[in-house]
Structure 1
Amino acid sequence: MPFLIFALTYPLIWVFSRLPMRILYIKSDVFFFLIFYVLRYRKKIVYDNISLAFPEKSSEEKKKILRLFFKHFTDLFMESVKAFSISEKEILKRYKYKNPELINDLVKQGKSIALVGAHQANWEWSISLPLALEGSIYGAYTKLGNKYFEKAVRDSREKFGVLGYKTSETVKGMQKNFSEKIQGLYILLSDQSPQLHKTHYWTEFFGVKVPIHTGAEMLAKKFDLVVVNYVTTKVKRGFYETEFQLVVENPRDYKEYEITDKYLALTEENVKKQPELYLWTHKRFKHRNKFEEWQKMKVAKPKTKS
């Protein structure tokens, strides 16, 4: 059955991906109408997230961000499909890197790097990172239920040189490289909401107290990784520019969660510049009223024997 599903659907995805971008954007406009006006896909979740993040904005301003977000969201879907067949020439034309020398200079110094970032603008086309940066680039991916689709997605994401790790094997792979003194650049998207029982730290994000992923900071300190944020902005439809922002160069010099706070501050600042490009469909603030519940869970959790 998994192969049958793959055999019936993947050829359609491949054919779609071969279409010119102008045709894909026409289809995106159709999907936007269906999703926004007919299906009303997650409109309330997106609007509520925008309202929590920007309480100072008027209702009309929030509705404008809402509409622009869904326009971008359907474009992103089509751009993700295009990633299956996009050529090196086309992706370099459409997805540019503003200051790759920041990364390349660190690589020349023998540094390994944690490339942190948010789900903003178009993160799927960051598969082109090896075309602009020196060094081996590793990206974690979530294992799919259908092994045939998993291979197709992995092949697509690795075609320009990114080396894929299953999410569950990322730390093991980093440990191996660290032990063997192999340099690496590790892509770590760090803006989703963690599960309560896996939470270690709470702080304010857009003025709302929420649990925060701290894995990137933990890995940076464990493996002495320079932390660099990468933020992508939309220049115009189908064209993006990514800028690298140094967060910290010596992670072990910083107090606990200080790096995480610096990253969150940068993310807020970047999202505010183009709020319609942030992935508002995920429930980023879903645990905002559960801090006391988390504290009770933490107290009640039995201590493990050392």
Structure 2
Amino acid sequence: MLGLAHLPLPVLHRLADALYLLMRFVLRYRQRVVLQNLRNSFPEKPEAEIRRLQHGFYRHFADVIVEILKLAAISPAETRQRVQIRNAELFFKHFEAGRTVLALGSHIGNWEWILPAGAVYFPGKADGVYKPLHNPFFEDFMLRLRTHTGARLIPMRDTLRDMLRLRGQPRSLSMLSDQSPGGLEQTYWTDFLHQDTPFYTGADKLAAQFRCPVLYVNIVRQRRGYYDIIVEELHDGEAPLNKDAHVITEQFARRVERDIRARPADYLWSHRRWKHKRNG
């Protein structure tokens, strides 16, 4: 499988066209989940529009799959050619001040290209928090893809220990913060796409304890295989934070909701994001 990563990306995109047809019409991959998520998130849209977004999602997801595979062989030069970071100065100003930056992303666009691109643009300063996979083969496979350009990965359970050990080190700590939390007693609930939705609160806790600046990172496809990473500041790291007020998480939820509405087909609708309900 990794041998395919050495093919030019335009060739991989031709494979993605076939993969789209396979997932959409043969395997019908998680079709019920995708449709339910779209209908619940956009109750104002007619069914014809929901079906159009469903098609768009499968095309997008097929591209994401082959582009993730490409990470096994992509060079720093090609990464720079294909990914531009807008407002990168927001990172550099905090690095110069000797700070660890929390970079919050979501499953919009090609989320797996964010950390590898950060490792190319910020050598030695791009770390990422991830949730280890249960399958040893896929765990090793994804680790190889995500670290190919020099990023360092930290298991989610070790995040606090890593922050204490590297306190004051200038770096970026990336987190995909829109996943469905497991321990619901430690989550923040808010209205998100017309649904009562739980969010991880780690960013609030880390930003409050370590006085970290927090940046929101959004990746936008400009054309097939080319992306802009757009950076916005949520917190400058100066003002004190109350971790229990969840100011960071609420801001993050609103940014993600805004960007999903701007490009609805580019979100990960096959994920069971709303599988939990408040109070059980």
TM-score above 0.5 = yes
Aligned in 2, Cα 1:194/1:145: closer, same or farther, shift over 3 Å? Answer: closer
The residue matched to 2:245 in structure 1 has which SS?
Answer: coil
Asked if 2 retains the 8 angstrom alpha-carbon contact of 1:135 and 1:183, the reply is no
Is 1:159 aligned to residue 148 of structure 2?
Answer: yes
Asked if 2 retains the 8 angstrom alpha-carbon contact of 1:199 and 1:211, the reply is no
Root-mean-square deviation (Å) = 1.9
Q: Distance in 1 between matches of 2:123 and 2:240?
A: 24
Aligned in 2, Cα 1:143/1:263: closer, same or farther, shift over 3 Å? Answer: closer
Opposite residue 240 of structure 2, the aligned amino acid is R
The residue matched to 1:272 in structure 2 has which SS?
Answer: helix
Is 1:281 aligned to residue 261 of structure 2?
Answer: no
- Could you tell me how far 1:267 is from its partner in structure 2? 0.8
Asked if 2 retains the 8 angstrom alpha-carbon contact of 1:114 and 1:227, the reply is yes
Task: Give a deviation string over 1:20-61, Cα, whole Å, max 9, x none.
Answer: 112211111111111101111111111111111111111111
Q: Distance in 2 between matches of 1:22 and 1:34?
A: 19
- Could you tell me how far 1:79 is from its partner in structure 2? 0.5
- Could you tell me how far 1:131 is from its partner in structure 2? 2.1
87-96 vs 155-164, which moves further: 155-164
Task: Give a deviation string over 1:82-115, Cα, whole Å, max 9, x none.
Answer: 1100111111111111121111112112222100
The residue matched to 2:59 in structure 1 has which SS?
Answer: helix
Aligned residue runs from structure 1 range 195-210, under 5 A? 195=182, 197-210=184-197
Aligned to 1:3: none
Is 1:21 aligned to residue 24 of structure 2?
Answer: no
Aligned to 1:47: 35
Aligned pair partner of 2:128 in 139, 146, 171: 139
- Could you tell me how far 1:144 is from its partner in structure 2? 4.0
Aligned to 2:200: 213
Opposite residue 169 of structure 1, the aligned amino acid is D
Aligned to 1:177: 166
- Could you tell me how far 1:146 is from its partner in structure 2? 5.4
Report the count of equivalent residues: 277
When the two structures are superposed, what TM-score results if normalisation uses the length of structure 1?
Answer: 0.84
139-148 vs 72-81, which moves further: 139-148
Aligned in 2, Cα 1:141/1:192: closer, same or farther, shift over 3 Å? Answer: closer
Aligned pair partner of 2:95 in 80, 102, 107: 107
Q: Distance in 2 between matches of 1:134 and 1:105?
A: 15
Aligned to 2:110: 122
Asked if 2 retains the 8 angstrom alpha-carbon contact of 1:196 and 1:211, the reply is no
Is 1:244 aligned to residue 231 of structure 2?
Answer: yes
Is 1:260 aligned to residue 249 of structure 2?
Answer: yes
Q: Distance in 2 between matches of 1:64 and 1:275?
A: 10
- Could you tell me how far 1:135 is from its partner in structure 2? 6.2
Aligned to 1:79: 67
Asked if 1 retains the 8 angstrom alpha-carbon contact of 2:68 and 2:145, the reply is no
When the two structures are superposed, what TM-score results if normalisation uses the length of structure 2?
Answer: 0.92
Which contiguous aligned blocks of 4+ residues in structure 1 show a shift greater than 6 angstroms?
none
The residue matched to 1:253 in structure 2 has which SS?
Answer: coil
144-153 vs 70-79, which moves further: 144-153
Opposite residue 229 of structure 2, the aligned amino acid is T
Q: Distance in 2 between matches of 1:272 and 1:83?
A: 28
Opposite residue 136 of structure 1, the aligned amino acid is K
- Could you tell me how far 1:271 is from its partner in structure 2? 1.2
- Could you tell me how far 1:220 is from its partner in structure 2? 1.3
- Could you tell me how far 1:67 is from its partner in structure 2? 0.5
- Could you tell me how far 1:196 is from its partner in structure 2? 5.3
The residue matched to 2:150 in structure 1 has which SS?
Answer: coil
Opposite residue 108 of structure 1, the aligned amino acid is E
Opposite residue 187 of structure 1, the aligned amino acid is S
Q: Distance in 1 between matches of 2:140 and 2:33?
A: 32
The residue matched to 1:229 in structure 2 has which SS?
Answer: strand
Q: Distance in 2 between matches of 1:159 and 1:35?
A: 28
Q: Distance in 1 between matches of 2:203 and 2:109?
A: 21
Asked if 1 retains the 8 angstrom alpha-carbon contact of 2:96 and 2:170, the reply is no
Q: Distance in 1 between matches of 2:138 and 2:22?
A: 26
- Could you tell me how far 1:274 is from its partner in structure 2? 0.8
Opposite residue 218 of structure 1, the aligned amino acid is K
Aligned in 2, Cα 1:206/1:16: closer, same or farther, shift over 3 Å? Answer: same
Q: Which runs of 5+ in 2 are unaligned?
A: none
- Could you tell me how far 1:149 is from its partner in structure 2? 5.2
Opposite residue 20 of structure 2, the aligned amino acid is F
Q: Distance in 2 between matches of 1:98 and 1:224?
A: 24
Larger radius of gyration: 1
